[in-house]
Structure 1
């Protein structure tokens, strides 16, 4: 799985948002409180410059192979395009490839779009595509997207504008992955010459997107300007330039938005929702998202390795109250970690929807059932440790709520705050997880596909199978789902696996948060859905 925690790589968690443009969330009184929209009104004119905040801080790199968090995606997807495009409803459409076709179970054929040029005027070629995809397979590069190519046997140029990918075993998730940064294309000649500096402030970039890198002042701003020779005239950027500025302090960010010093932000602070909604400076939009909040079990032994303890903790937490207190109403409880939004564009949507609906609903707390599970499990110890990243108030609240819930069912929880870099290391370094039972974390899916997430948690030896979970039936069904090129068969096998691993609560998924977009009243056009994470969203931003 590709990492997605802000400080490094991350958990890709999902969200149960099925609302489209115009959908509404309702408060406890039944009155509408939040309207979910996929996009904002279209821009009516051009603007000279837009200043955009990066609440997760400055990215370390804009190289697609090293793009693994919110900030890098927010900037980089406007520069380096992918073979497929991610649309606002989380469907895909042709991008730098006019088609990506599953020719047979182990062969995918990519038809590269002709007439596309890089920023320097040189043409996009099949060789550039082969190079861009192949570099994720280079272990010395340590690409964040390496997992996407784990089953690939070869990537070859098979025509002037054709690339063929052959697999050791079928992988139906590969094609939708091409709508995200794993499918982003860079110029071979430029990247080869830049070496390790590629994608950094000193090494630069060479891509095909609607914006091109114009300057990078470390710690201050990343500047991009419009690519006036962009190949798709229907999506030419309306803004002449964007300045992306890191603003990690929520109070400072909110003040800058309210004062009009910053024009917009994705991931507006949850604690500032009320103030931003009252603002006369701009508008706060809420959109469908795949972001989630969860408690991840990270120990292969001890109490949390027992599914009954995980289930008990899940039952002890009131998810509706969690949405109100932590997300300020801007979210929904979830049943499991793969969201319905992930399969909304699938021809097997009804099968996925039915499977999700059949999962147990634990959104309301049931303390008696939780206590019974703890008694049955009879753990050798009842003390647990939850780790959180220092400085993240929402995740600290999450851990504190879990701590209070655990106390009511006979468990004692200690909350341990770690520095962001140390916390990020928990995802990959077993040594750092010693003495920790759970992590409070956020995450997201960046492309469609029910199989983007689950294999990484339920298969033996998978990178996020921290509890040592193993079920032969689940394994057989997930492997079959990944291999089945018939969408209905794949969905049926996935649903069968989910029916077993879902209740095991490998992730205690609490809620999905709506995407929060704030726009100054002078601009409009930005997607309101979480699709921005893998799309050239900034090209749509222009004058209101």
Structure 2
């Protein structure tokens, strides 16, 4: 068996995080054997000892809709794109943000960012990466015709200009200072593609027919629609410290939980992130590999739409207070998640740990308290006789199990909470179409931070016009704090302002946080090396994959 690795600094960070939410954790994180699965969350896994001709992985959320980086905004797309396309910056497995295609960057005021580009980088076709390619790629997010999923008022909407200011330099000028901007250059917002290939490919760009042209450690060898994508080692990859150890990697699209479990246990596939919850016990007992829980930036939550009783903050807080999230963590989530006490996922930061951990400890615990919930509900002004519907995708049965606990809790305090399942094909509209949300009290989400900066995540939820503010939530005090935090050059000051926002947000609770799940990674005994943390979504995890010793 390989051992998951936890760095000293991470172990300290996790100790603080566990202590900070202990009032709401109890011992419900213990597995049947008495072990606390979440006591130490891994950052990476044992380094590979050799090369492999081929390996097989799986995408449990299905086939990517596109490999165009500006359309990579979900698990399937990002898990693949992270290995073929690269950003100016990179999120490392320990959540630190480091230079990548940019050799360095500088900003004096948080408004002008100057990136010095790494030399000697080539695309797969051998053509050199130029400053014009970089400027073009970043400007795609500003072009409505390109339809970037990463375009937003808070980030791309704050960009004044992006220009190649020399053959080796690109300058980004913002309309207003934002000291969080550089971290976005480690996401698809900072990914560089070949301008020539993008323009030549047209509407086929990012599809099985048109493909992409990037600089990453792997290229796309074959895309069999509905079945798999095969990546090939980039023999001319610029970063010799991260030369792939696998020549050919087949990434399959198995979504059925039972089929995923069988494929992993039988060795038909070598590994997978996000293994099904229903597979946890079986994979822990598997004799051919290991289930590893990794440090995460994810959370499961219920998003209020603003309609019905949940439009009242007192109703939201009362229902959350009455819900036994500890029971959900131990049963529905198989002790692979902790009860959520905040809209910031536990441990989702790479700086100011003392500030964020201390603030988290001051938040109300997640233990169920029926009497307190009734007291909170007494302040409600909404019509409490109206049924609250919580919508979920029917293909994910654990959501129904989760909502059943909210149904039970609601009954205890006089609320009628009912689940409503819809096919996944329809459920996606709840995130983009107000008409789809109309008439429903809430819908579920498995959500994640794009970068390890809590301010960035919070403003998507609580800022007026935020990309995930689906209820029209507005709080003038939060708006003022957001502006101050974005303009704060000192990380400690920014963290302190962010925790003020965090406390105000939890008092109003536009989202009802449920649990903070760990990354669930399974690997067979023949492979090792990949990061165990949630960084895999933007980090070239497959470049670290190789033979186990």
Normalising by the smaller structure, the TM-score range is over 0.9
* SS of equivalent to 1:531: helix
TM-aligned CA deviation for residue 467 of structure 1: 3.0
Q: After superposition, what is the alpha-carbon deviation per residue over 1:327-361, rounded to whole angstroms, capped at 9, x for unaligned?
A: 10011112112135332x22x33323322222222
Check conservation: 1:359, 1:503, Cα contact below 8 A.
no
* Alignment match, 1:197: 204
Match of 1:232 among 239, 252, 255: 239
Question: Structure 1 residue aligned with 2:383, among 362, 380, 398?
Answer: 380
1:335 aligns with 2:341: yes
1:206 aligns with 2:213: yes
C-alpha spacing 1:257/1:181, structure 2 compared with 1 (3 Å):
same
- Long gaps (5+) in structure 2: 1-11, 20-26
Deviations 1:229-249 (A, max 9, x none): 111111100000111110010
Counterpart of 1:404 (choices 403, 408, 414) is: 408
Give the aligned partner of residue 195 of structure 2. Answer: 188
Structure 2 CA distance for aligned equivalents of residues 18 and 255 of structure 1? 35
**Aligned to 2:371, which of 368, 371, 382?**
368
* Matched-pair contact (CA < 8 Å) for 2:308–2:439: no
Q: Report the Cα offset of residue 393 of structure 1.
A: 1.4
State the alpha-carbon separation in 2 of the partners of residues 121 and 257 from structure 1. 37
- Residue equivalent to 2:36: 33
1:501 aligns with 2:522: no
In structure 1, which of residues 525, 528, 531 is the aligned counterpart of residue 532 of structure 2? 528
**Residues 378/28 of structure 1: CA separation in 2 closer, same or farther (3 Å cut):** farther
Runs of 4+ off more than 4 Å: 23-26, 28-31
- Counterparts of 1:475 and 1:140, CA distance in 2: 30
SS in 2 for 1:454: helix
Q: RMSD across aligned C-alpha pairs, in angstroms?
A: 1.9
Partner of 1:289: 296
8 Å Cα contact 2:450/2:457 also seen in 1: no
* Distance in 1 between residues matched to 2:109 and 2:380, nearest whole Å: 47
State the alpha-carbon separation in 2 of the partners of residues 40 and 420 from structure 1: 33
Q: CA deviation at 1:30?
A: 10
Provide the rounded CA distance (Å) in 2 between the counterparts of 1:69 and 1:454. 18
Normalising by the residue count of structure 2, what TM-score does the alignment of the two structures yield?
Answer: 0.92
Instruction: Kindly indicate whether the alpha-carbon contact (under 8 Å) linking 1:360 and 1:503 is maintained by their aligned counterparts in 2.
Output: no
Given that 2:58 and 2:254 are in contact with CA atoms closer than 8 Å, whether structure 1 keeps it comes out as yes
Q: Which residues in structure 2 correspond to 1:65-464 (within 5 Å)? A: 65-147=70-152, 148-299=155-306, 301-343=307-349, 345-346=350-351, 348-361=352-365, 363-382=366-385, 383-464=387-468
Alpha-carbon shift at residue 100 of structure 1 (Å)? 2.6
Return closer, same or farther for 1:519/1:29 CA change in 2, 3 Å cut-off.
closer
Could you list the runs of 5+ residues in structure 1 that have no partner in the other structure?
A: 1-16
| Equivalent residue pairs, number | 523
Cα distance in 1 for residues equivalent to 2:33 and 2:270: 33
Q: Say whether the 8 Å CA contact 2:297–2:452 is kept in structure 1.
A: no
C-alpha separation in 2, matches of 1:414 and 1:49: 48
Distance 1:74 1:466 in 2: 26
C-alpha distance in 1 between matches for 2:117 and 2:236:
18
TM-score w.r.t. structure 1 length? Answer: 0.93
Q: Deviations over 1:132-187 (max 9, x none)?
A: 10001111221111123110000001111100000111122211111111111111
Contact 1:225–1:242 under 8 Å retained in 2 = yes
CA distance in 2 between counterparts of 1:40 and 1:487 reads 30
The answer to whether the Cα contact below 8 Å between 1:446 and 1:531 also exists between their aligned partners in 2 is no
